[in-house]
Structure 1
Amino acid sequence: MIKLKYFKVVGLYHKMNFEFKFNDDLNILTGKNGAGKTTVLRLIWYLISGNLEKIIPAIDFEELEIETNRFMLKVSRQPKTRLNLIWNVGNGKQTKTLSMAQYEDEKISQMLNQEIIKVSQSSLFFPTFRRIEGTDKPLKKEMGELYEAFLQEKIYHGLENAFSDLSNYLSMGTHQFVTSISTDDITRLLTKQYADISERINQLQNEL
């Protein structure tokens, strides 16, 4: 099982700094709306799930560092046109400084992604926008006809398919980005987990 030990980001969107030392069991991140909680969680998941190439173009930062029981990685912009990378995925610490053009041409993110996926096992990420619920009565009344139009079958399935495509795009192997309009995703996930566990139990029983 992969365990987070340490995470740090400096200059997130030019105004936020975060540093965390994680407990072995439970960690709770709290803060006001807009404090950066979701961005921090997204950064952590991108780092442990082999999605490094989605960080550089989408999220502005000066320095990013993560340490787990399986690997460590530090990314620094020096200045914004250059990257300094330090990593250790079980085969010793390695360092590389290169321009953004070199970073893209050399496909170093793909190499690191593959190395990280080999050692990071699995994860589940439930982003805050993952479900759009339809049970809030005051909201339904307030939105009126627009809400009713939103719930039309064609629009609903279009959004559901879009969320499914997004989940498939971001998921890497056993690292699952879970998102859906309803709670169907949780049902499918639990059903699959139950089936996998039942199969494993049957195998163990047959071996006895």
Structure 2
Amino acid sequence: MSSGEISLGERLNSSQLKSFAIKGLFGFKDIKSNFDKEALILIAENGAGKTTILNILYYSISCQFHKLSAIDFQSVVLKFASGDSVEIKKSDLPSFNKRDRRDVELSLLLWRSLNKEAGKTEETEETDKTDKTDEINKIKTTIKQNLNKSILYFPTYRRIEEDLKSLGYEENRFEQLVFGDREGKLIQFGMNDVSDKLDEIKTTIKNSALNLFSKVTGEILTQFVESKPITKEMRNSIKPDTLSIVLSRVGEENISLSDRQKIEQLVSTEEINSPQHDQLVYFLLKLVDLYEQQKEKDKSINQFAIVCNKYLNQKRIVYDEANVEISILQTRDNSPIDLKNLSSGEKQIISLFSKIYLESSEDFILFFDEPELSLSIEWQRMLLPDILKSGKCKLLLAATHSPFIFDNELDFNAHDLDTFVQER
């Protein structure tokens, strides 16, 4: 780390969520914590309530209030950088236990139409329900106005596996199951989601290349008609390495291999600078522009591969930019490996970083419950710093009972859960 550069542990929280408080957890605990730094790690043994705290906070900021009804607490208070704050009271949530807001509003409409002649008591009850619904809607609006980032929640990985086994699912069927909901994003168990996402990205890049190639063809016709001058800067912007990738993506159905080789030779020998090739320079310049438009996707895939390769044992993820192919290979003989044949820990790492680099184009807030499970001691030390180094995570809240999770730059970001708890 160079002088003047802020260490991971010293980075300030840049999300809009500045603090939270839970009142009456399990009937006798009050929890309160500020989010001063980018990372906060809660240390506690099993049974201390750390998962419940993460659940309450996640369900609150993702506006899944109906899920809060099953948890034993009185209220949760959220404070934002704008100065806004909300208090979600469990006593206001009974209507949301099994029905969402639209169902509640429908029931109120039916109540009004069927009970026009009802007495004062019924009208009071209806008014109370309506008031509570309006208050909940105001709270949701405030939260959404203040938190415009994605919210990711990685629950305990092993716990999901054990729960599925106890329900009678066979291990080879785990990949077919998806965990998530409309309001928030939970980590998906298994590799089907990762494989699908990789295929989706490859298809998007290839289709985009072909679509832009068609667009370039039209612009070339305009150039032929208008004969715009070709500048020195335009010629210099065509680099052999970039050109090779661009021409490969165009495909042999659009440009023959022999023509491609001739073009690459003209560029490498700088013969392309001859005025007789001005129209070709313009064409190639447009193809390079096409590549630049897709560069963010390529960058994300490369970062994903680099980070994951730090964890893979005798394997590596390889991204072939020219052919837009992503593979996992054995280091000893370069033979391909199927995602489903990776270890549990390797699957967890690839699934996690695919969420960060391949699925989310936005900054995010991340909650992580027991990140140490299925990971070796060395991987535990690396994991949270690597997540923060992505530059996308604006606030990280993790709960753990492993000292190796914070045996790194985040040592001073780890605190005993009891520090934030006051018993009544």
- Please say if residues 75 and 87 of structure 2, whose CA atoms lie closer than 8 Å, have aligned partners that are also in contact: yes
Deviation at 1:80, TM superposition (A): 9.8
Q: How far apart, in 1, do the equivalents of 2:360 and 2:132 lie?
A: 43
Find the counterpart in structure 2 of residue 59 from structure 1.
71
Q: How far apart, in 2, do the equivalents of 1:130 and 1:110 lie?
A: 36
- Secondary structure at the aligned position of 1:106 is classed as helix
Could you report, residue by residue, the CA deviation over 1:102-152 in whole angstroms, capped at 9, with x for unpaired residues?
Answer: 169735434432442232012221122477579xxxxxxxx9xx9xx732x
| Residue 190 of structure 1 pairs with residue 190 of structure 2 | no
Find the counterpart in structure 2 of residue 95 from structure 1.
none
Aligned pairs for 1:43-192 (under 5 A) are 43-55=56-68, 57-70=69-82, 71-76=84-89, 102=129, 106=133, 108-122=135-149, 123-129=151-157, 150-151=170-171, 153=172, 155-158=173-176, 160-161=177-178, 163=179, 167-171=180-184, 176-181=185-190, 182-183=347-348, 185-192=351-358
| Residue 5 of structure 1 pairs with residue 28 of structure 2 | no
Deviation at 1:78, TM superposition (A): 6.9
Q: How far apart, in 1, do the equivalents of 2:87 and 2:48 lie?
A: 23
One-letter amino acid matched to 1:67? K
| Residue 25 of structure 1 pairs with residue 25 of structure 2 | no
Q: Which moved more, 1:182-191 or 1:44-53?
A: 182-191
Higher relative contact order (CA 8 A, sep 6+): 2
One-letter amino acid matched to 2:356? L
Alpha-carbon distance change, 177 to 102 in structure 1, aligned in 2, over 3 angstroms: same
One-letter amino acid matched to 1:116? I
Could you report, residue by residue, the CA deviation over 1:1-51 in whole angstroms, capped at 9, with x for unpaired residues?
Answer: 524322221221213221212223321111121111111112112222222
- Please say if residues 130 and 180 of structure 1, whose CA atoms lie closer than 8 Å, have aligned partners that are also in contact: no
Find the counterpart in structure 2 of residue 15 from structure 1.
28
Q: How far apart, in 2, do the equivalents of 1:105 and 1:125 lie?
A: 28
- Please say if residues 58 and 153 of structure 2, whose CA atoms lie closer than 8 Å, have aligned partners that are also in contact: yes
- Secondary structure at the aligned position of 2:146 is classed as helix
Alpha-carbon distance change, 103 to 66 in structure 1, aligned in 2, over 3 angstroms: farther
Q: How far apart, in 2, do the equivalents of 1:49 and 1:21 lie?
A: 19
- Secondary structure at the aligned position of 1:28 is classed as strand
- Please say if residues 80 and 146 of structure 2, whose CA atoms lie closer than 8 Å, have aligned partners that are also in contact: no
**Identity score, percent:** 22
Larger radius of gyration: 2
Q: Following TM superposition, where does structure 1 have runs of at least 4 consecutive aligned residues deviating by more than 6 angstroms?
A: 78-81, 194-197
One-letter amino acid matched to 2:155? P
Report the count of equivalent residues. Answer: 159
Find the counterpart in structure 2 of residue 93 from structure 1.
none
Alpha-carbon distance change, 20 to 54 in structure 1, aligned in 2, over 3 angstroms: same
- Please say if residues 78 and 87 of structure 2, whose CA atoms lie closer than 8 Å, have aligned partners that are also in contact: yes
Instruction: Identify, as 1 or 2, the structure richer in helix.
Output: 2
Instruction: Flag structure 2 segments of 5+ consecutive residues without an equivalent.
Output: 1-13, 95-124, 191-346, 364-424
Could you report, residue by residue, the CA deviation over 1:52-102 in whole angstroms, capped at 9, with x for unpaired residues?
Answer: 3322x2212123212121431123467998xxxxxxxxxxxxxxxx99x61
Q: How far apart, in 1, do the equivalents of 2:77 and 2:39 lie?
A: 21
- Secondary structure at the aligned position of 2:79 is classed as strand
Alpha-carbon distance change, 107 to 78 in structure 1, aligned in 2, over 3 angstroms: closer
Deviation at 1:170, TM superposition (A): 4.3
Alpha-carbon distance change, 180 to 104 in structure 1, aligned in 2, over 3 angstroms: farther
